[in-house]
Structure 1
Amino acid sequence: MPNLKSLMDQRATAWNQAQEFQSRGDDNPLSAEDRSAWDAALADVERLSTEIETEERHARLSAVDYSQVVPPEKTPEPGEDRQASQETAYRDAFSAFTRRGMSGLDNEQRQLLMSNQTEIRAGATSPGSAGGYFIPTDTLAKITETMKAYGGLLGAANVITTASGNPLNWPTNDDTSNVGAILAENAQITEQDVTLGQKTLGAYMYTSKLVRLSLQLIQDDAFGVESWLARKLGERIGRAVAAHLATGTGSSQPEGLFTNATAGKTGAAGQVTSVLYDDLVDLQHSIDPAYRGSAQWAMSDSALKVVRKLKDGDGRPLWEPSTQVGVPSSLLGSAVLIDNGIPVPAASAKSIGYGDINAAYVVRQVSGGQLMRLDERYADYLQVGFFGFMRLDAKPDDASAFKVYAHPAT
């Protein structure tokens, strides 16, 4: 990533220049020329930060981390070579199905796909059927990575993958208010029961909606329609998931992390779109130290713009830009996660969160996405319809691990 490295170096230089002018101003008032240069350096930091964020997002979308989905390479055990060969054959058959449909498959490919098929009869065509096939692992990884890019919360949450979509129950317990005691000699031990609860995750169906491609585009396929289409479908599903992971109601959709989160700090009257340095400190310390070792900030880009303008008592910006590729910029010593599904600063909005998101939020995904191809429905347009779908649910787990900054109503 030479371009990203160059941008990081430029931002580090601009930041150092700004800090130098800041240190001068600590002793004597800056001259008009120096203040102009200081403002220019800060403007460069702002501009370069935006470019870096764009480059990092592009890198996430174009360079999929397959290790998150595909097991790392190891010495094949007996039978593994055969399994790898079957996976390659399935991927090739799926690619052929995407480009040419069932008629473009040989008998072996057709049997391979049908062994994993969920067939859905298309009532709009007679005769006719639409086969839904599991998306190969590497293509599914592209969709998953795209969803993470659009919804930063997904990458930080505790993600559980299950083979089926049956209700998933798990016990809960909060024993933090109970403490032990000194026992006097010959005294009976006091009883203190633990209180157990239960939470349940379902599996809501997310769809990319329908995409129609012309036969000419599919047949020519000069750029790899399978990967391109997977990315587009993943972006659509990702946008829908991102909004729900942040502020979903929990009724007929996942419950968002911010929806019912406890306010660790509420702004004073008049702070309907603003936040103070002291507010952020209070929010950090509203989280128990046991969680702060893995804690991070979560906010939208609009909220980050507000926060980046804050300065401490010596006039130094709270936001610390990263000067190293792969190391996130920090705020009061903690990383900042950006997710535009999180509410922007506004009256009564919960716009900034802080805590251990992995402990606070759990996401359940049903393994495997599926892609549907509709050959006959749009045949008179010489088009083929495609849509993808995935099943997912999410809800808060440990409420003590994450709290939010709430703006006042007025």
Structure 2
Amino acid sequence: MTTTSDGLETKAGAQGDIAALFAEFSTAFEEFKATNDQRLGELEKRGSADGLLEGKLDRLNAVLDTNKAAMDRALIERARPQLDGKGMPVDGEYKQAFASYVKRGEEKALSVGVNADGGYVVPPETETEITRLMTAVSPIRAIAGVRQVSGSVYKRPISVTGPAVGWVGETAARPITGSQTLAELSYPTMELYAMPAATSAFLEDAAVDVGQWIADEVNAAFAAQETTAFVSGDGVNKPTGFLDATTVAEASWSWGNLGYVATGSAGALPTANASDVLIDLVYALKAGYRQNASWVMNRKVQGTLRKLKDADGNYLWQPAATADGKARFMGFDLVEAEDMPDIAANALSIAFGDFRRGYLIVDRQGVSVLRDPFSAKPYVLFYTTKRVGGGIADYDAIKLLKFAAS
């Protein structure tokens, strides 16, 4: 537990005490609102606010972010499924063989698990564990569309425009109408790898759950790399991120581009009626997409938006109603992705859209492990790989806010 200079405590190190963390988060947000109300009052009366208030507001923002991160970690720990006996059991002989392979490098003649390169396919329950944990800690994976494929490339046909139609009289001629326009999107899967190491003594310990150990070691590395690629990847040996797409002003939007709304001020929100441009961004998205839309931004940008109010004095940012819920902004879920850019001139710092329809993640089935006891003696390396692809699925389902004059 730590204490700020204002006497505010944060339980960033709390061991799974989710209820206490949530209560502290709620208290901190009430203090944040009171402090910001005081700041806004001074701005209205004097045209400037006390620097002490600004500093306190920044510290409160930090407390809110720290508590939210602690709650997320505690929820991930609590949500981890048991590997043994809780889900769909794998063949006992195969699981035992996999454990022997990890600990001692023993391979038995089991065709289901043998890889041509001498590796081993992770048992399905361990594969599910890695995917489950990545969903919990990778914000884009949690809101995007996900497909499991067995090949190296997933291709998806898209109808860009429908067939032409028209009204006719009962006896009028029926001329041939124009055909619909189809496009094809391709999602190649790229290799994502991690290589945790362990000593032989550690692996020989009978208490070690090797499947859980691999999942824990690989999870953090995979999740961090994935999220970066899904946001800003260039498509070279990695997925293509949605920010890598060509962007155009929303008034000039066409298929193959992402539309943006400009704030009207380089590197900042408008000084007057700052929320108006955010409303414009919401309504740049078609109604069919708004129903399941989410905001995506990083922690610093979220801290800026926490200070905004509507015309009736209500805060546009609202904390989650429950410890395992999401914060909401202007009535839509807010997803925190640290790979999104900070506010700066011409930065695309805020995304808003239906990511389930707008961005597709492609997972090739199978996570494989290659045991290497030779390259880094006395450590045993575990070259763990999976193949992942990603890219925009619907260019009309995601809109961006650009901190620029136009």
Quickly name the TM-score band, shorter chain normalised. Answer: 0.7 to 0.9
Q: Deviations for 1:228-249, whole angstroms, at most 9, x for unmatched residues? A: 2322222212222211111112
- Name the structure 2 match of 1:211: 196
* Residue 60 of structure 2 is aligned to residue 56 of structure 1: no
Aligned mates of 2:86, 2:196 — CA distance in 1: 31
- Which AA in structure 2 matches 1:173? S
SS in 2 for 1:118: coil
Conservation of the 8 A alpha-carbon contact between 2:87 and 2:125:
no
Aligned mates of 1:383, 1:72 — CA distance in 2: 32
Given candidates 13, 22, 32, the residue that maps to 1:8 is 22
- Name the structure 1 match of 2:97: 93
Q: Deviations for 1:253-274, whole angstroms, at most 9, x for unmatched residues? A: 321122215233112233x154
- Name the structure 2 match of 1:161: 148
Relative to structure 1, the CA distance from residue 17 to residue 382 in structure 2 (aligned partners, 3 Å threshold; closer, same or farther) is closer
Aligned mates of 1:2, 1:87 — CA distance in 2: 33
The residue correspondences of 1:342-357 to structure 2 (distance < 5 A) are 342-357=340-355
SS in 1 for 2:147: strand
- Which AA in structure 2 matches 1:281? I
Given candidates 320, 323, 330, the residue that maps to 1:322 is 320
- Name the structure 2 match of 1:253: 238
* Residue 63 of structure 2 is aligned to residue 47 of structure 1: yes
Aligned mates of 1:49, 1:349 — CA distance in 2: 22
SS in 2 for 1:352: strand
* 1:377, distance to aligned residue in structure 2 (A): 3.4
- The answer to which of 217-226 and 298-307 deviates more is 217-226
Relative to structure 1, the CA distance from residue 71 to residue 250 in structure 2 (aligned partners, 3 Å threshold; closer, same or farther) is farther
The residue correspondences of 1:212-231 to structure 2 (distance < 5 A) are 212-220=197-205, 222-231=207-216
Aligned mates of 2:277, 2:80 — CA distance in 1: 37
Conservation of the 8 A alpha-carbon contact between 1:287 and 1:400:
yes
- Name the structure 1 match of 2:360: 362
- Name the structure 2 match of 1:399: 395
Report the count of equivalent residues.
370
Q: Deviations for 1:311-364, whole angstroms, at most 9, x for unmatched residues? A: 334554321012323321100000011122222322322111111101111111
Aligned mates of 1:336, 1:66 — CA distance in 2: 30
Aligned mates of 2:238, 2:35 — CA distance in 1: 51
Aligned mates of 1:361, 1:230 — CA distance in 2: 26
The residue correspondences of 1:185-200 to structure 2 (distance < 5 A) are 185-189=170-174, 191-200=177-186
The residue correspondences of 1:191-340 to structure 2 (distance < 5 A) are 191-208=177-194, 210-220=195-205, 222-260=207-245, 262-270=258-266, 272-274=267-269, 276-340=274-338
State the percentage of identical aligned residues: 21
- Name the structure 2 match of 1:76: none
Conservation of the 8 A alpha-carbon contact between 2:298 and 2:339:
yes
* 1:23, distance to aligned residue in structure 2 (A): 8.6
- The answer to which of 42-51 and 16-25 deviates more is 16-25
The structure whose residues are more often helix, as a share, is 1
The residue correspondences of 1:124-203 to structure 2 (distance < 5 A) are 131-165=118-152, 167-175=153-161, 180-189=165-174, 191-203=177-189
- Which AA in structure 2 matches 1:118? N
- Name the structure 2 match of 1:81: none
- Name the structure 2 match of 1:126: none
SS in 2 for 1:60: helix
Q: TM-score, normalised by structure 1?
A: 0.78
SS in 1 for 2:360: strand
**CA RMSD after TM alignment:** 3.6
Aligned mates of 1:294, 1:316 — CA distance in 2: 23
- Which AA in structure 2 matches 1:233? V
Aligned mates of 2:38, 2:115 — CA distance in 1: 69
Aligned mates of 2:352, 2:154 — CA distance in 1: 27
Q: TM-score, normalised by structure 2?
A: 0.79
* 1:212, distance to aligned residue in structure 2 (A): 2.9
Q: Deviations for 1:92-129, whole angstroms, at most 9, x for unmatched residues? A: 32123212221xx7xxxx223x5421132xxxxxxxxx
* Residue 390 of structure 2 is aligned to residue 390 of structure 1: no
Conservation of the 8 A alpha-carbon contact between 1:150 and 1:242:
no
Aligned mates of 2:233, 2:180 — CA distance in 1: 30
- The answer to which of 54-63 and 284-293 deviates more is 54-63
Relative to structure 1, the CA distance from residue 25 to residue 43 in structure 2 (aligned partners, 3 Å threshold; closer, same or farther) is closer
* 1:61, distance to aligned residue in structure 2 (A): 4.9
Q: Deviations for 1:203-246, whole angstroms, at most 9, x for unmatched residues? A: 211111x3332222222365535422322222212222211111
- The answer to which of 244-253 and 56-65 deviates more is 56-65
